[in-house]
Chains A and B, each alone.
Chain A
Amino acid sequence: MTEKLHIKMTVNGQEEEFLAEPRELLIYTLRERLNITGPHIGCETSHCGACTIMMDGKSVKSCTVFVGQANGSDLTTIEGMGGPDDLHPLQKAFKEHHGLQCGYCTPGMITRAAKLLEENPTPTEEDIRFGMSGNLCRCTGYQNIVKSILAAAAEMNAAKEAAE
């Protein structure tokens, strides 16, 4: 029997505090402990990216992180990116450009795309395909995902320029 860890973390702006077994993977902390079911599980070998979240400003596969590693961390999932009254440009663009079908990869895709646009606000199609290579999709063939991200980038850059 191993001792439970005392964990504090911020998730989508909300502070959470709880006891957890060390072997609890962050994806289960989110999905089962905190009822944040946007991030999904698609594999157990860290390939598919359906579990992608933002952790301390990095794109991270939450299935490959133990809860103890995230102690004290600041996490954002798809739920924290925007809701019905304040959609993120990526959330709007994915709908506008048919960037999803079954929706299973979508939370991880959008969360990763948001970070990609922070890394590179004016990506080319090639930059996007490379930058999204950690997220698998079985439905869309990626073409409309690329289109959606390009469109969101354009909107975000236009808004930035307008604000300046």
Chain B
Amino acid sequence: MNDMTPDREERRSNLNGMGSSRKRVEDARFTQGKGNYVDDIKLDGMLSGDFVRSPYAHARVLNINTEAALKVPGVLAVLTAKDLAPLGLHWMPTLAGDKQMVLADGKVLFQGQEVAFVIAKDRYAAADGIEAVEVEYEELPVLTNPFEALKSDVVLREDLDPKADGAHGPRKHHNHIFTWEAGEKDATEQVLAEADVVAEEMIYYHRTHPCPLETCGCVASMDKVNGKLTLWGTFQAPHAIRTVVSLISGLEEHNIRVISPDIGGGFGNKVGAYSGYVCSVVASIVTGKPVKWIEDRMDNLMTTAFARDYWMQGKISATKEGKITGLWCHTTADHGGFDACADPTKFPAGFMNICTGSYDIPTAYLAVDGVYTNKAPGGVAYRCSFRVTEAAYFIERMIEVLAIELNMDAAELRRINFIKKDQFPYQSALGWEYDSGDYHTAWDKALKAVGYDALRKEQAERVEAFKRGETRKLLGIGLTHFTEIVGAGPVKNCDILGLGMFDSCEIRIHPTGSAIARLGTISQGQGHATTFAQILATEIGLPAESITIEEGDTDTAPYGLGTYGSRSTPVAGAATAMAGRKIRAKAQMIAAYLLEVHDDDVEFDVDRFVVKGAPERFKTMKEIAFASYNQAIPGLEPGLEAVSYYDPPNMTYPFGAYICVMELDVDTGEHDIRQFYALDDCGTRINPMIIEGQVHGGLTEALAIAMGQEIAYDELGNVKTGTLMDFFLPTAWETPHYTTDHTTTPSPHHPIGAKGVGESPNVGGVPAFSNAVHDAFRAFGLRQAHMPHDHWRVWKIAHDLGLHG
């Protein structure tokens, strides 16, 4: 059996394991139009459900008349809160400890809120039925500004006792949700009071929305014969959805099967539970037929979870030489009508306390106040870890403002304040232990790659040319060095609705040497079927091509908390490596038995176990697999399987250095991105091709957010940007070419040293684009201008600085 073997490098390369730019296995079905998304699902007798939605942002619902709707041909039923109340389903718990109306219960709190659910034989009848439902509203005063909401007599949440504590402690006002604090208040205020220099600024990260190309939807199918509910849906966390559905429906979890099929992008939009899921489940149970709900784009933008909307008041103190001594942040968080924030339970403001960023700041304080307003509920982590985009934007803007205050170069200011390589693991003043980093190396590499000094020279010359009237275009250099916190997270402090944020991998090796591994995560385009096979290929020595990765079916996949917040590689990737090592440990024993040596006398060599000192004696993993089914080995069960549930000891801390060079037209407000350089350090790199793709995609989402994308409201709470006409998604034309680069600083606590990377580009990208805009106008006195930096707002910057004279 021991045939001639190729050399080790060739064997490693044949595995297509970690580090290989392996082509994706998913691509075959997607490029041939054979994906299986929720709206592709067709079941016999399937009905269609859709919502009557409120045109008003704040109103009493006086009456709902369904008589005409029920007469529309094809309409079977119309559900209202009255119908759901006996089941206790007219409200549902949110992931943030609040509760949210499933259907309007006496009033509505945001434009587009679900008022009634029409169930019909097809989507045409449902659409006609919706038009025929008559709702009587009494408009109420609308609150769209969180600062005003905290002073207003208008009560939004009449269902909450203003004197009782909320889910996260005492509430200061009937429109107040929670206060969350980290760090040292008194010590920080003292440091600020005694500082040489203090820069203060209000940094606003505006409201936007993840807007994946596929909207949210589900198909609920109650099998009344067997008493089992199957729920297909756009779920980034299928197991959590199963548990939630069980808790609210009373069906036991073993009688609920949740399936996330192919998902057309998630970006955080598909983490939480929406009314459509609950109503479809109820409709299916009541009718005994499958019910499909697929929302429109307008529904998606107007009513599913928004992102951001953080007003961050910051103060940063430093010595006159530029050494930062303290950071103070008070954030006002606008959550809309219900706090449906998708955060781990103990973190109502997510991981906002990463806002000390990449800098060694000895003293800091953060306070966050959550507020209710008449807007859609949320928020979610739109391609980021919880609130990390807000935190990174905050500190990267505060550094720039401090640089202005000190009259210093912002690149140099960053460098002298970076956490040094030998300070890791680093205990931040706001409570996190950063695992590893080498910021100086990344920073120097980035500045060199773009020719930073030459760019500054060019910029200075451009300012002079502008002043002489020779040009109307300014040059901005946008700098960012971000540190993220991802991979939620250790069970002791990270849970979603009480479910610890571990993740899992279950592997079964087949007799002829191929394998199937199932995970508790679910890809929405990140390529898990390709990359997790690569992790295993390296760990267990079978080719990636021989390993099927399966996710998303709660009947077969081990429990996991899903994919968002860049947690798949840090948590499920670790579980995969650990399960792989269990396989390898058993394989070692089988090999030793077959080779008739002691367990310790064999060692793993890429794809086989070799007798130490006698390399011509070995057993390949394929041979070992067969042996596990074929041999009666004393002390070992047959088969070759392992499961790992991984509770990460810590979060991981990817980081990066991004530089954006941008030209701005002072008269039209138009921008042109001349260059974008992105250096990412995500620790061990599993598939460089996929990493690069993630960076391109995340940077483009960042471009959109920084340069025009927003969910905007008028004073009556009408959504102004509810379609893709006004909600900015760049086309290939608006999107620049990106240059990507990397350094590699492995995570010391992660089994394969990997940190995760999918969301870094969105975290680092937004401040890079935004800082470029600010930097262009710095010479003319600009300190802070709120995003998005669309044409008219850039024009206004120039106008207010007197540049249109």
Contact = CB atoms under 8 A, between A and B. Distances in A.
A and B touch in the complex (CB under 8 A): yes
Interface of A: 21, 23, 31-32, 35-45, 47-48, 50, 77-79, 82-84, 87, 90-91, 94-96, 98, 100-107, 110, 125, 128-130, 132-146
Given A42-B297, A45-B723, A143-B696, A102 B732 contact: no
Contact of A101 (B42, B296, B527, B729): B527
B interface, by DSSP: helix, strand, loop or mixed? Answer: loop
Given A38-B33, A128-B732, A141 B697 contact: yes
B700 interface: yes
A77 B32 CA distance: 10
B213 interface: yes
B214 A145 contact: no
A20 B737 CA distance: 46
A interface, by DSSP: helix, strand, loop or mixed? Answer: loop
Contacts of A102: 212-214, 262-265, 524-525
B39 A41 contact: yes
B738 interface: yes
Interface in B502-559: 524-527
B218 to A, nearest CB: 15
A45 B725 contact: yes
A145 B731 CA distance: 12
Which residue of A35, A83, A106, A130 has the most chain B CB atoms within 10 A of its CB atom? A106
B33 A142 contact: no
Contacts of B527: 101
Given A45-B297, A143-B737, 17 more contacts: A37-B40, A38-B32, A41-B39, A42-B214, A42-B297, A47-B729, A78-B33, A79-B32, A79-B33, A95-B31, A101-B693, A103-B27, A103-B525, A104-B213, A141-B699, A142-B731, A144-B693
Given A35-B42, A101-B693, A132 B731 contact: yes
A42 B24 CA distance: 24
B724 A43 contact: yes
A94 B31 contact: yes
B454 interface: no
A95 B213 contact: no
A103 B697 contact: no
Interface string B246-271: 00000000000000001111010000
Contact of A141 (B29, B215, B696): B696
Given A21-B124, A130-B733, A100 B27 contact: yes
A44 B298 contact: yes
Contacts of A142: 696, 700, 731-732, 735
B35 interface: yes
12 contacts: A35-B42, A41-B294, A42-B264, A43-B297, A84-B32, A91-B32, A102-B525, A132-B732, A133-B731, A136-B724, A141-B693, A144-B693
Contacts of B352: none
A103 B693 CA distance: 13
A84 B34 CA distance: 11
A77 B33 CA distance: 8
A100 B214 CA distance: 14
Contacts of B695: 141
B710 interface: no
Contacts of B731: 129, 132-136, 142
A29 to B, nearest CB: 13
Contacts of A105: 213
Contacts of B263: 102
A145 B732 contact: yes
B733 A103 contact: no
B617 interface: no
| Closest CB pairs A-B (n = 4) | A38-B33, A103-B30, A102-B525, A104-B264
B32 A78 contact: yes
A43 to B, nearest CB: 4
A53 to B, nearest CB: 11
Nearest to B210: A138
Nearest to B262: A103
B160 interface: no
B696 A138 contact: no
A138 B729 contact: yes
A136 B693 contact: no
A133 B214 contact: no
Contacts of B28: 84, 95
A108 B486 CA distance: 33
Contacts of B87: none
Contact of A44 (B24, B32, B296): B296
B606 to A, nearest CB: 26
B37 interface: yes
